[in-house]
Structure 1
């Protein structure tokens, strides 16, 4: 059911806020975080500094809004991939998740770098704020897949882990909807994401350019090896391409 219709003033305000964020991201791409200035954005938009501060009180507020948008974009892409997975096949689910993660990152390099690049200088992300919550949404989706794929009583290498080994904000966020999650499964989730993330980061930052002529094939091979390491078998590669997995 559609929500209440926005007034013209509300629509114009939302459009202006979106334009501010678009220009802010472009400034950061061109000159790094140091280039981000609310006053500079106001000048480019033909606004007064006072007017732009009615949308974002501080530079940090603007960066936080950008980060929330980026995580939301990624989470929406992953959810779409999950919706197209084969029912009941955890191997397919993990591979589809990984392929969607890479596809989104390659198509949105600047956004990927904003949330997964070097920490932004002088930016202080609010604790338990919207940016952290948006990032945890991405983690929850992978935790769901790992929980479905891992055998009962799974114990992580180097474990057993304890909840105190993880950021309490993440544990609290996951605990709201993941009643069967254990510290070992959360450790496995983080390690799985690390394997997905590693090759993607190398590709986004151009480090695979002189190493691989087909980064997509390299990444798919890594995803297949990942599901094998979890003891999964079946057909993987996502709904559009079945690839046999052997032990």
Structure 2
């Protein structure tokens, strides 16, 4: 089978797209995601705005690609951490994912803000295409881990608190298709797990723990160890 190599034109286009995204990330690091502007990028590259629009027809298209890439980068790291723990230890896997999530967030605060910070003024995320698929990877992974832990977790969790109508219909449909054995309380547990994974990380990234602790990693490990116990496991958290 003959392998088709990219043409010079295609290579130059790919290089320009990479440069546009790199400059956008630089602007985002300096002033936040709201600072991303195709006109500002064009000025820095010595291009006309019309030329840049030939690569991304709107600012939202560029932002969507940056968010999609960031979700996939995060999911890659979380999946690698998950797969390093045996499949028969779902609570341990969940803790490993949580620790990978924190490491990513504290080393990539600008990307964290892009995904989980204030909404970017005027930006409308697409409801189909690569972005929802990328965002679903992390959500599906968490649901899978909670479903695997549920047989043990339900012995230490209150049951009967939730109904399917308590949750977004699309989320409920997704979970019921992937894990028909998981009850609504399992979905509630997954949302609460996400809240515990995310809460201390957000406080740390935005500087709210600086006056409270000299070792936020230790605090987070303790929280994740307690999370594992809440799933019916004695698994501890490792850095």
TM over 0.5: yes
What is the Cα-based RMSD across aligned positions, in Å? 2.3
Structure 2: 5+ residue runs without aligned partners? none
* More off after superposition, 172-181 vs 121-130: 172-181
Check the 8 A contact 2:150/2:182 in 1, yes or no: no
Tell me what 2:163 maps to. Answer: 161
* SS of structure 1 residue aligned to 2:151: coil
Please identify which structure carries the higher helix content.
Answer: 2
Check the 8 A contact 2:162/2:188 in 1, yes or no: no
Measured against aligned partners, the alpha-carbon deviations of 1:138-185 in whole angstroms (never above 9, x if no partner) come to 0111111111111279476672220x4333343455556444444322
Aligned length: 235
2:219 matched to 1:214? no
Q: Distance in 2 between matches of 1:18 and 1:207?
A: 34
Distance 1:153 1:194, change over 3 A: closer
Query: What is the TM-score normalised by the length of structure 1?
Result: 0.86
The equivalences for 1:37-186 within 5 A come to 37-151=37-151, 154=154, 159-162=161-164, 164-174=165-175, 177-186=178-187
Structure 1: 5+ residue runs without aligned partners? 242-247
Measured against aligned partners, the alpha-carbon deviations of 1:48-91 in whole angstroms (never above 9, x if no partner) come to 21221111111111111111011011000001101211341122
Measured against aligned partners, the alpha-carbon deviations of 1:179-206 in whole angstroms (never above 9, x if no partner) come to 4444322221111010010000011111
Q: Distance in 1 between matches of 2:182 and 2:134?
A: 19
Distance 1:7 1:175, change over 3 A: farther
Shift of 1:131: 2.3
Tell me what 2:188 maps to. Answer: 187
Q: Distance in 2 between matches of 1:86 and 1:152?
A: 16
